[in-house]
Amino acid sequence: MSQIEEVNINVADLTAAIAGKSIEESLAFLAEVFPGQIAFSSSLGIEDQVITHFIYSNNLPIRVFTLDTGRLFNETLTLLHNTNKRYGKKIEVFFPQTEAVEKLVNEKGPMSFYQSVENRKECCYIRKVEPLNRALKGVKLWITGIRREQSDNRQSLAPIEWDNNMQLFKYNPLLEWTFDDVKTFVKENHILYNPLHDQGFVSIGCAPCTRAIAEGENFRAGRWWWEDSSKKECGLHTH
């Protein structure tokens, strides 16, 4: 009996099954456990470029997709084009529903997210959460680029988790990596990355909602900087 046949589909056994494996080995193993039902969501941030490299350079049967919110930096879109070209692959792109964006902008204007947390979360839902839900339809294991040091919210996460909101498993292969680990790996493997990272942007989202951070600032300080909490999330990663 193969190791895959012996694995029960639960967090504990999946965690045990990948213990001691490299990221490439873990991804390949999980792709066999969840054939055609495994996907990686890339924001095209530097962490996600590392995971895309693992998947594409090893020709693993894992879907890679991204969300184009309609408000991305031009540098992000250029990176999407160049990444596709580098690996000879096509990252799947999901867009928000046109009618929902039109209604939001016509009713509240193009910058409503600055006015309240509720408005910001509404915009995030329309531009990110709803497209993500469509992208993950039929997926049983979702791969993310989450790292523990990124925010206070992520301190209690585990490499393999059950996402109760999405009703699927999540694998966070870079959970224990530091930002320096990521940058070193990118340099050593000549991985393409967003040039905004060299300008103080550590977490890159929509252009109106992202800024560079100063040395010593919280990792998430550059996202929705007009809000107070260090636990800021857009709603993609909830439990």
Determine the Cα–Cα distance for residues 131 and 222; give it in Å rounded to an integer. 23
The Cα–Cα gap between 71 and 209 comes to: 9
CA distances from 33 to 16, 17, 47, 89, 190 (A): 14, 11, 24, 23, 30
- Known catalytic residues? 234
Which pTM does this prediction carry? 0.89
Per residue in 108-165, pLDDT (tens digit) is: 999 999 999 999 999 999 999 999 999 999 999 999 999 988 766 777 789 999 999 8
Please state whether beta strands 160-163 and 168-171 pair in parallel, antiparallel, or not at all (unpaired). Answer: antiparallel
Superfamily of domain 3-95+135-222 in CATH is HUPs (3.40.50.620)
Domain ranges of the chain: 3-95+135-222
**pLDDT digit string (tens) for 56-66?**
999 999 999 99
Average pLDDT over the chain reads: 91
